[in-house]
Structure 1
Amino acid sequence: MTTATSPRVLEHPAREDIRLGPVLHALSDPVRLRIVCAMARGGTGEAFSCSYFALPVTKSTSTHHFRVLRESGVVRQTYQGTAKLNSLRRADLDALFPGLLDSVLEAATAQAHRLGDGPRLD
């Protein structure tokens, strides 16, 4: 007999399974970087619904970006009622790759200021 898996439970890599390559890939996309920058400004432990982010992409593309962030270990997604909430896995990323997230966020901010048309960070 097969046990059905609840569609409300999302798979996340355990901390020890998070790898640098997928994290860098997730952060290399301007839309995903924009999401991460906004989450980082929100504070540690704060969770945001997917609809919180005004993204310049379709809903299905937005879903793809959040899935890449979740599967790489950059964010944790949980359901609260019908909303899917996203929180930055800062503690996990900082423990595994000290300084990486802060460096990426600083570089994104510097690029946005330098170019004037870089990824919106809000």
Structure 2
Amino acid sequence: MPMSTRILEHPDVEEIRLEAVLHALAEPARLEVVRFLAEVGREVACSEIDLAVSKSTGTHHYRVLREAGVINQVYRGTAKLNSLRRAELDALFPGLIDSVIAAADRERARPRPS
């Protein structure tokens, strides 16, 4: 009997909306996923990205990113691999991903109020 292929729904490029992308990027754990994927520039398993959240919360964050069109997720065997939809996002919203990551890096470097 052939093994079933699990396919995850992703929005087509024409369906990606700025407000959904900004919503997805507004949460620190999701922004960390995007930062990591932008840095490595390849598909990675969820387990390679160290998020300080429960597994179910992590699953929620990945789903929000996928449904907003920010990441692509595919199954390879039992592993779910994630990649940034960089080319599509850069074509739709030039400079957005780089700007958001740079702003987050600056925010991270700022001293915290006592």
Q: Same fold (TM over 0.5)?
A: yes
Gaps of 5+ in 2: none
Change (3 A) 1:115 1:74: farther
Cα distance in 2 for partners of 1:76, 1:39 equals 11
Equivalent residue number for residue 81 of structure 2: 85
**Normalization by structure 1: what TM-score?**
0.86
Q: Which runs of 4+ in 1 moved over 6 A?
A: none
How many residue pairs get aligned? The number is 109
CA distance in 2, matches of 1:8, 1:51: 19
CA–CA separation in structure 2 for the residues paired with 1:7 and 1:39:
24
1:18 alignment partner in structure 2: 16
For residue 31 of structure 1, the aligned residue among 22, 29, 32 is 29
> How many Å apart are 1:7 and its aligned residue?
6.9
Q: CA deviation at 1:113?
A: 1.2
Question: Kindly tell me: are residues 107 and 60 of structure 1, through their superposed partners in 2, closer, same or farther at Cα, counting changes over 3 Å?
Answer: same
